[in-house]
Structure 1
């Protein structure tokens, strides 16, 4: 039996492919959402733009360059992750995967990632961490789909570390992992889209209100840095009292499809 590969051997085998995979995932998702927003802004849905301010070309260039840096961080950290799999330190899934099991695994990883995101995101807003970890992301006041991977290096590392932590606890089928990665980047791009993409009434619906909207995260960038920390769901914000008190009212205003004066973004301290 051949010995497990070394870190250097794994790096030689996977670095290029890993970088291209993650960068393509970002570019495809951001392009799809940005294209959808571009088309909707030429219809009556243009009134769903959340802020009056337009993102600048400088914003776009900063965010795309930062995304490449984020993907580079993910690629570097993927090497020891694969090494840990090959050496048996992380759990691999073996066995049949039924549709029910697929759904349960996917629900579990989404719930776990939402929890990880809420608490690490909120922690990065602590004054001792904000400057080095999260301030770069908040250089964007008016987000677009391209903002999705606009992280400083320490924040990119925190975002990545969910995966090896999860794999150390749960052996997860490969199809579930790839579905999760697709949902994660699409929801990320949607959350930063700048145009509300969810139906009217969503934010106050008895069931749908627990799922985050574009307005929910846009307010975190443009209205108050100290509210709306969640990612896929709103329940951590509701439970911990960190949801913006004007969230539902803002969502309802944005989704009226009526001519209106959009508020300018008001950066929070």
Structure 2
């Protein structure tokens, strides 16, 4: 968390002093108090995950979970497992996130996270204890059913926190053509999750991909318009140009 949030925060700080500084999504600035709250709540979540990790170690020693250390099924199979865990986690996140928005659960699970109207990378794990526990629950469920090499789990854990920090960065990283090509338009952008925090409370529940929101009719109706607005601000840079298809 500290590495991913700090690195993302530093990158955003640098980009906000370049020609693409206008890609900051909201005009509102998060306050020092906002960031302090996000950080402290994230530390609280990290403590929950530490207790969860101790449970996983105990469960592995008792034979409840697959032993992930020293396991490999060959690079090809390992990569398929990595892709599967990303897809499975995205589905879990969508439905757990959407359920936590239920009026009877929201106050106890998810309201703490939504105090961040203008989120920053420090909000990546900014959860109440019940939400942190619900988010962690995916790991023992996965390890109960799927023997997963340790390096695959490590790669996924790093991927998910980096993507989480990016989703809360408040700054759009992706080029303007991102939603115009079938190869990339199903991959979430920062604008997608930023709308969930600011103006789209009951939309955009997805984490890595947009497909569950599209299938369930929960994507914000102005998502594409907002993305186009943000990435069109300022001067056109070389990385914004649509790639030329190979002949």
TM-score, length of structure 1 as denominator length:
0.85
Matches within 5 A, 1:55-70: 55-70=30-45
- Which residue of the partner structure matches residue 4 of structure 2? 29
Matches within 5 A, 1:87-236: 87-93=62-68, 95-236=71-212
- Which residue of the partner structure matches residue 5 of structure 1? none
Residue of structure 2 aligned with 1:39, choices 11, 14, 22: 14
Q: Are the equivalent residues in 1 in contact too, given 2:71–2:148 (CA < 8 A)?
A: no
Q: Distance in 2 between matches of 1:64 and 1:182?
A: 18
Q: Deviations over 1:80-122 (max 9, x none)?
A: 2211110001122565442211210110000000000000000
Residue of structure 2 aligned with 1:250, choices 209, 222, 226: 226
Which stretch of the first structure deviates more once superposed, 118-127 or 40-49?
40-49
Q: Distance in 2 between matches of 1:86 and 1:232?
A: 32
Q: Distance in 1 between matches of 2:15 and 2:118?
A: 17
Residue of structure 2 aligned with 1:48, choices 15, 19, 23: 23
Q: Distance in 2 between matches of 1:134 and 1:28?
A: 24
Residue of structure 2 aligned with 1:237, choices 207, 213, 235: 213
- Which residue of the partner structure matches residue 8 of structure 1? none
Q: Distance in 2 between matches of 1:254 and 1:68?
A: 31
Q: Are the equivalent residues in 1 in contact too, given 2:118–2:197 (CA < 8 A)?
A: yes
Q: Distance in 2 between matches of 1:95 and 1:177?
A: 11
Q: Distance in 1 between matches of 2:98 and 2:210?
A: 14
CA RMSD across the alignment:
1.2
4+ residue segments displaced more than 6 Å:
none
Deviation at 1:224, TM superposition (A): 1.2
Q: Which runs of 5+ in 2 are unaligned?
A: 236-247
Q: Deviations over 1:159-180 (max 9, x none)?
A: 1010000001101000000000
Q: How many equivalent residue pairs?
A: 234
Q: Give the helix-richer structure, 1 or 2.
A: 1
- Which residue of the partner structure matches residue 46 of structure 2? 71
Q: Deviations over 1:109-153 (max 9, x none)?
A: 000000000000000000000000000000000011111010000
Q: Deviations over 1:29-83 (max 9, x none)?
A: 0011111100100011111111010000010110111111001111112222211
Q: Which runs of 5+ in 1 are unaligned?
A: 1-25, 260-269
